[in-house]
Amino acid sequence: MLSDPEARKHWQAAPVAETVTQTGPWLKPQIQASSTSLKATARIESHSAKEAVLSVTIHNTGKVPAYPVGIALHPDLYSVLWTDNYFWLASDETVTLQGTARLDMSGLDQISNPPAANPADLLIRVSAWNAAAIDIHL
C-alpha cells in the first residue's frame, strides 16, 4: 500500500490504527524484494555430555540490510538459548552470537524424549526474509 504515492499521502495525513499483526506478512514481500546475501561460520566453544556452547559469526555481504536475521538449531528437538535472534544486520556488518545448546534432554521432554545429541549431528541454520538460508554442520 505504501508504495503508491497517493495511498502513502493519505496514510501520513492522520493517525492510523496499529497493524493487527506485528510479524507480517504485511512487510515480508517488500523486504524480500531487496535481496542481500549472508555468510556464516560456526564452531563449538566447549561441550560436555549435557550442553554445548556454540559461537556463530554472521556477515552481511550484500548491499542492503538483512532482516530479520534468524538463527536456529536443527533438529529442533534440542533446546538452545542464543544471545540474540531475529535482528537487523546492516550491509557489510558482522555479528557474533553465542548459544548454549542442551544436548541431553533426558527428563525434560516427556513427549519426544530425544536421545542425547552428538554435536556433530547438529546443524545451525541462518536465514533472513531477503537472504538465502545457510546450513552449517558443526
C-alpha 76: how far from chain center: 13
- The phi, psi pair for 8, rounded to 5°, reads -65, -45
pLDDT at residue 20 tops 90? no
Domain 38-137 carries which CATH code? 2.60.40.10
Give the model's confidence band at 15: pLDDT under 50 very low, under 70 low, under 90 confident, else very high. confident
Query: Using CA atoms, how far apart are residues 107 and 36, in angstroms rounded to an integer?
Result: 42
Q: 4 or 67, which is more confident?
A: 67
Q: For cell 534440542, what's the residue?
A: 78
* 43: β partners: 55
pLDDT at residue 66 tops 70? yes
Q: Is the pTM of this model over 0.85?
A: no
- Grid cell, residue 138, equals 558443526
Query: Using CA atoms, how far apart are residues 57 and 47, in angstroms rounded to an integer?
Result: 18
pLDDT at residue 16 tops 80? no
